[in-house]
Amino acid sequence: MKLPIAAVGRSIPRLEAHAKVTGHAAYVHNLSVPGMLIAKVFRSTVAHGRIRSIDVTAARAMLGVFAVYTGEDIRKVIAEPYYGPAFHDQPILALDKVRYAGEPVAVVLAVDTHVAEAAAQLISAEYDELPAVFNEVEAMTSTAVVHEVLKPAGTFADLKHLKNKSGTNIALDFHLRRGDVDKAFATADHVFEHNFRTQQVLHLPLEPFATVAIPEGDRKSGTLTLHSSTQSPSFVRIEIARLLGWPENKVRVKVPYLGGGFGAKVYIKSEALAAACAMLARRPVKFATTMEEQFYMITKHATTLRIKSGVTRDGKITARECEVWWNGGAYADIGPRVTQKSGFTAAGPYEIDNVKIDSYALYTNLPAAGALRGFGIPQLVWAYESHTEMIARELKIDPLAIRRTNLLREGRPQATGTLMRDAALGQVLERLATRMQWDKPLDRGTETLRRGRGIAIGFKASISPTTSMAIVNINADGSCHLYSSTVDMGQGSDTAMAQMVSEVIGVPVQKITVVHPDTDVTPYDMATLGSRSTYHMGHAVKNAAEDARDKLFAMARELGLSAETTPIPDVFKKKYGMQAGNIVGVGSFIPPYTSPDANGQTTDATPFWMIGATGAEVEVDIETGEFKVTRLVNLVDVGKAINPAIVETQISGATIMQLGFTLTEQMNFDAGHVTNASLADYKIPGIRDIPPLMENEAVDANQKSGPFGAKGVGESGTFGVSPAIANAIDDAVGVRLTSLPLTAEAVYRGLRNKAGNPLRND
């Protein structure tokens, strides 16, 4: 019965493609159930203030309004209505004070969206304004304190020491010490120090946040079902159960396809408010944000980075010191994890004997920041690959050569002390050099249109340790079901997981149904985030499929049949006398992990390393500073590709997303208020912004510890984009930009500064 199908490694078309392009795919955003109320939020108009009063009388009196709730109402169903993965710091609706402009203060429930919206506009609130802090470096010492007392959730050991701390905005400080940087700086031929900044941006999935919460039974013995656009159904179930004081089995979370996630929909977002409203109203409640409201939900950290290196005269880096300040906004979300995990690799993919890293998660009075496609890595690569390039230029060393000199080799210890294993850094760099034809001179353009090129390479430790479980069910006709809580948000996980089941059991993917997350049905999975699914869920799925196959083989042998050659239906028929029964295989996976010590040292920082590099060619108009990225070459190490075509689109998708964060995207603020909360004013790249030449390649690699040699894919394409473009601009016109986004005006000002004729402001 085992046919060598070789499903893994083939570019099988996505299983959901037809349903999506024909408009049949279901999304929570389109879901409607009988008796459903629509929730619309009234938001804070101040960045930091004590709530003096909230007036909801006019809203309540409006025809068609079912109810209006404030934070105090929520307490009737949830005594301690604070949620969050790292800290229990975020109130479902503001209590006592507001911490950012745009924070939910009250909610209207109505049968009609327009009525709910109009009623929300009738709510007013008065605040005693408090001094606010917006900048992450200022937040270190600011007398404006966002949270009076820190409330770590207790799930992360390294946050425990922050419990009940007061008078601080530091939500995590991560420190890594290796060797002796001060001594190494003292003896280095050269010491370089630079500062960098990244701006606050956001995810903007095409489908905004949406949850439909349906209560059944009464408050004491009932249940709650949540249909939600979430990347982490298992976490939502646990967190809602915790808030309600219920066992996990009373909360059910179902997830169809997502219209994008990118880290926005991880942990718990729209679910807490929808659940609380449904419990209060005893009616189904839908809380779906508009595109514009996404600007007040979750964002990507703005950062300030300081990086200092000691270097020998031939370009060997002997010491590196990094300080990173992460602007976490008003609520921690998963920011402290970003601070720690990315802290592991802040010094870059180089073998450096002396490393000192200090990474701080800061509370500020801005919309909260969390995980966005790269978990902090793109911010760090921006700094260390700009810095590395600046050193190379200063020492007149070729940018490729300085990277070759310092790159971490297989088996060598990285800054945490963990040895590099199955990390194709050298291969990625060399393939990039080949594709860029780095050894050949570049056409430098004309007098006014100058051309340049740049490269950058980054790496990432996967978030760890995390658990995945899977169930594979073989039906009597040989078709299969895969039960997994991995969310297909567009990355193609359904297809990849089905390919793995197909490969193990020998059934074509068309005969495999991937059952979408439903916590009453599909087993636990930590979340779909951090490029972890292919590796972690992949292992669980492979284990479950192997378990099912082994049971099938055992059953065949028991019946005196050849396990290898008997068709699956014949085995079932012989066993049960007809087309009946099934075989259930289970699988689970958690990788080995050792927590870092007080110096950030560990023998086991990550189950796998993700690697991404980008080469850019640019054309700069020296009369205006305008520039075009004419070519982007993206190289990644994803181990063995389960589905090469999907891998390719994941690389290009990640690259284009980071291109937006590099060139066009920026949340603008005025006294903490977002001033461009719309797609008309916040510019994501359009088709005409994409470089005419874009090449994406996954190098021929193998993650020996991975399922079928595979590892994570989704984020690697983001790593090198920003510094590669900045390095190319420098190469073209000798202007160094240290702050994102890279704008034409910044280039123009750089050109004027270089000419000794700075552009004066009014």
CB of 302 to other proteins, least distance (A): 16
Q: Which is nearer to other proteins, 180 or 745 (CB)?
A: 745
Q: What are phi and psi of 57, to 5 degrees?
A: -60, -45
Query: C-beta of 630: minimal distance to other proteins in Å?
Result: 14
Please check whether residue 27 is in contact with residue 532, taking contact to mean a CB–CB distance below 8 angstroms. no
Cβ neighbors of 7 (< 8 A, separation 6 or more) are 498, 499, 500, 502, 503, 508, 509
Q: Which one of the listed residues 207, 394, 715, 745 is annotated catalytic? A: 715
C-alpha dist (Å) from residue 133 to 97, 169, 328, 365, 749:
15, 10, 12, 6, 29
For the bound state, the minimum distance from the C-beta of residue 750 to other proteins, rounded and expressed in Å, comes to: 12
CA–CA separation, 47 and 53 (whole Å):
16
Shortest distance in whole angstroms from residue 413 CB to other proteins: 43
* Footprint of other proteins (CB under 8 A): 114, 117-118, 121, 292, 623-624, 626, 663-664, 668, 675-676, 678, 680-681, 683-686, 688-689, 743-745, 748-749, 759-762
- CB-nearer residue toward other proteins: 594 or 664: 664
**In this complex, which beta carbon is closest to other proteins, that of residue 440 or of residue 688?**
688
Measured CA distances, 428 to 408, 433, 710, 721, 735 (Å)? 12, 9, 16, 14, 27
Classify the C-alpha dihedral 742-743-745-747 as positive or negative.
Answer: positive
Mention every residue, 6+ apart, whose C-beta is less than 8 A from residue 536. Answer: 466, 467, 468, 525, 526, 589, 590, 591, 607
Q: Which is nearer to other proteins, 58 or 118 (CB)?
A: 118
Q: Which is nearer to other proteins, 139 or 677 (CB)?
A: 677
Closest contact distance (angstroms) between CB of 629 and other proteins is 12
Q: How far is the CB of 65 from other proteins (least distance, A)?
A: 14
State the pairing for strand pair 251-254/223-228: parallel
Are 231 and 211 spatial neighbours (Cβ–Cβ below 8 Å)? no
Q: Which is nearer to other proteins, 223 or 664 (CB)?
A: 664
HEC string of 60-118 equals: HHCCCEEEEEEHHHHCCCCCCCEECCCECCEECCCECEECCCCCEEEEEEECCHHHHHH
Could you give the CA distance from residue 319 to residue 316 in angstroms, rounded to a whole number? 9
Rounded CA separation 65/284 (Å): 15
Decide if 715 is catalytic.
yes
Cβ nearer to other proteins, comparing 24 with 688: 688
Token code pair at residue 603: 């023998």
Look up residue 36 and give its amino acid.
M
Query: Cβ 667 to other proteins, closest distance in Å?
Result: 11
Active-site residue numbers? 715
